[in-house]
Amino acid sequence: MNDMVRTDYDILIVGGGIAGMTAAIYASRSSLKTLVLEQEICGGLANQTHTVENFPSHISIGGMDLMENVKEQMTHCGADLIEVVEISKFDVENQTKTVVTDEGTFSARTIILAMGRKPIHLPIEADWDEHIHYCSLCDGNFYIDKDIVVVGGGNSAFDESLYLAGLGVKSITVIEALDTCAAAGGTIQKALATGKIAIKTGTRLTGIDPTEDSAVIELTDAASGATKSIQAEGMFVFIGQKPATTEFQDILDLDQYGYIEVNSDMGTNIPGVFAAGDIVAKRYRQLTTAMADGTIAALEAHRYLCS
Amino acid sequence: MHEQITMLNEETYEGYVSETDCMVIFFKSKCPNCKVLLKVMEKVKARQPDISMAAISSEDDEAVATEQDISRVPTVLVYKGGKAMARRTGVMKPPELEALYAGA
């Protein structure tokens, strides 16, 4: 543990996804001494997106490339950044907000929480970890010419299935427990048009039995309870994300799913504590909405400091 | 790339790991988890400069990845006395990486 104590920051921003980085750009440009603490690397979930095509100013850009650009802009504006930081304690209820980390203890009068969400892992135990994946960019090319299963029927599942099909995966069976897939209709059509992607709705994944080179995947019909098996050499899981708010459940107002409740100015129930991005309770979670959150949170933090 | 991490390739891999106690990460260029783990390795290197850190691309040097049975990245192998003594796949925190090396 590092004993260094820094109290010279005006604002601490926890999380270096698009919301946190946008907040840092605005805070730095408002002459606030700004520190961004990121527990992994900057970029958040966008780093795991192969292609971003809904970000104004880019017809198409890699998620990681886009996030690198934003990070460069943020540090250019003067924000300090610590990545792969381990946070052991938050103390945000007093006037001075403190974050204790392995790199030291940092205090400031305002804090923006922008830690986003983490993927939900498969709720099934199986001795097949090497073949269960959560990042198609990382592991997709190990399955060229192979048969795989994708678990989940949302936009991520279909976007990633399209990426995997494009890589050269032989066949993809998409498994969705609900009767319909939540992904955009156009994306589903695109997926079906590849001829490589089959969709099984109303179907639950109930077992994984590893064999020598693959696994027998047990599927159960949600309505009838009937089971059947398919063979797969790998599995990619996209069954949603959960907010990283465990440390705040007793002090911040959270909704029933754990997302932080904020007012229209991104303020939480504690003065000086703001939240931005996917961690906030809201309907739409897009790069652009996270940027808007970050912008408002930083400007309001500035106003709070000046009041 | 990462200044404190020695880049290996098909020609240099065997020689390096047979002569150097080290940690080697198999990575891909567009893999976010690999970027995280490379950053973690840098941090561990800053804390423990005596640990040799190396990296090899599983895309550019596929033959080595195949030989080492790498089916997923990032994967870290720990070599001691010229032998692979430990292996772990996925993102780790700095203390976990340190423990992997110490326990090998």
Which residue ranges form the domains of chain B, and what is each CATH number? 6-103 (3.40.30.10)
pLDDT higher than 60, residue B1: no
Burial track B55-75 (b if 16+ CB lie within 10 A, e otherwise): bbbbeebeebbeebebbbbbb
d(CA A10, CA A28) in angstroms, rounded, equals: 10
- Of B32, B93, B95, nearest to A48 by CB-CB distance is B32
d(CA B93, CA A112) in angstroms, rounded, equals: 24
Taking the alpha carbons of B39, A120, A188, A53 in that order, is the dihedral positive or negative?
Answer: negative
Give me the residues of A, 19-58, that contact B with CB < 8 A.
40-41, 43, 47-48, 50
**How many angstroms separate the CA of residue A234 from the nearest CA in chain B?**
10
How confident is residue A212, by pLDDT bands cut at 50, 70 and 90?
Answer: confident
Other CB atoms within a 10 A radius of the CB of residue A256 amount to 6
A52 or B7: which carries more pLDDT confidence?
B7
- A41 to chain B: nearest residue by CA? B36
- Of B30, B35, B72, nearest to A41 by CB-CB distance is B35
Q: Is A138 an interface residue toward B (CB < 8 Å)? A: yes
Q: In this complex, do A84 and B73 lie within 8 Å of one another by their Cβ atoms? A: no
Instruction: Please give the CATH number for the structural domain made up of A129-237.
Output: 3.50.50.60
d(CA B36, CA B94) in angstroms, rounded, equals: 11
Reported ipTM: 0.89
Q: Measuring CA to CA, how many Å separate A252 from each of A59, A93, A107, A159, A275?
A: 39, 9, 19, 34, 10
Tokens representing residue A13 in the block: 């921003």
Helix (H) / strand (E) element for B7: namely strand B6-7
d(CA B68, CA B84) in angstroms, rounded, equals: 10
Average pLDDT over residues A10-16: 98
How does pLDDT run across A282-296, given as a tens digit for each residue?
999 999 999 999 999
pLDDT value for A246: 92
pLDDT value for A1: 65
Average pLDDT over residues A11-23: 98
Which residues from chain B sit within 8 angstroms of residue A41, using beta carbons?
32, 35-36, 39
* CB under 8 A, 24+ apart: contacts of A246-249: A247/A90, A248/A90, A248/A92, A248/A113
Q: In this complex, do B39 and A142 lie within 8 Å of one another by their Cβ atoms? A: no
How confident is residue A138, by pLDDT bands cut at 50, 70 and 90?
Answer: confident
Strands of chain A, DSSP E? 5-6, 11-14, 34-37, 80-82, 87-91, 97-101, 104-108, 110-113, 117-119, 132-133, 147-151, 171-175, 197-200, 203-210, 215-221, 227-232, 234-237, 241-243, 273-275
- Of A47, A84, A129, nearest to B39 by CB-CB distance is A84
- B99 Cβ contact list (under 8 Å, min separation 6): none
- A95 Cβ contact list (under 8 Å, min separation 6): A109, A272
Contact A290, A243 (CB under 8 A): no
d(CA A102, CA A100) in angstroms, rounded, equals: 7
How confident is residue A11, by pLDDT bands cut at 50, 70 and 90?
Answer: very high
pLDDT higher than 70, residue B94: yes
- Of B32, B39, B94, nearest to A138 by CB-CB distance is B32
Specify the residue for token string 């926890």.
A14
pLDDT higher than 90, residue A253: yes
Which residues from chain B sit within 8 angstroms of residue A122, using beta carbons?
none
Mutate to test the interface with A, among B4, B30, B93 (most CBs of A within 10 A): B30
Beta bridge partners of A106: A6, A99
DSSP 8-state secondary structure symbol assigned to residue A271: T
How much of chain A, in percent, has pLDDT values that exceed 70? 100
How does pLDDT run across B52-72, given as a tens digit for each residue?
999 999 989 999 999 998 878
Instruction: Please give the CATH number for the structural domain made up of A5-119+241-306.
Output: 3.50.50.60
Q: Where in chain A is CATH 3.50.50.60?
A: 5-119+241-306, 129-237
Q: Would you list the DSSP string of B23-88?
A: EEEEE-TT-HHHHHHHHHHHHHHHH-TTSEEEEEETTTTHHHHHHTT--SSSEEEEEETTEEEEEE
How much of chain B, in percent, has pLDDT values that exceed 70? 98
Name which of A1-15, A63-77, A284-298 the model is least confident about: A1-15
Average pLDDT over residues A198-225: 94
Tokens representing residue A68 in the block: 């690198």
Average pLDDT over residues A15-24: 98
How does pLDDT run across A170-191, given as a tens digit for each residue?
999 999 999 999 999 999 999 9
Mutate to test the interface with B, among A1, A18, A40 (most CBs of B within 10 A): A40
Give residue A92's region: left, alpha or beta (phi > 0; psi -120 to 50).
alpha
**How many angstroms separate the CA of residue B19 from the nearest CA in chain A?**
29
Q: What is the mean pLDDT of chain A?
A: 95
Q: Measuring CA to CA, how many Å separate A87 from each of A1, A82, A256, A279?
A: 11, 11, 25, 17
Give me the residues of B, 73-92, that contact A with CB < 8 A.
73-74, 89, 91
Average pLDDT over residues A266-276: 98
Q: Angle, to 10 degrees, between the axis of helix B32-47 and the axis of helix B94-103? A: 70
Average pLDDT over residues B7-20: 96
pLDDT value for A127: 84
Specify the residue for token string 């922008």.
A114
- Of A43, A64, A130, nearest to B72 by CB-CB distance is A130
Q: Is A131 an interface residue toward B (CB < 8 Å)? A: yes
- pTM of this structure: 0.87
How confident is residue A166, by pLDDT bands cut at 50, 70 and 90?
Answer: very high
Q: In this complex, do A138 and B73 lie within 8 Å of one another by their Cβ atoms? A: yes
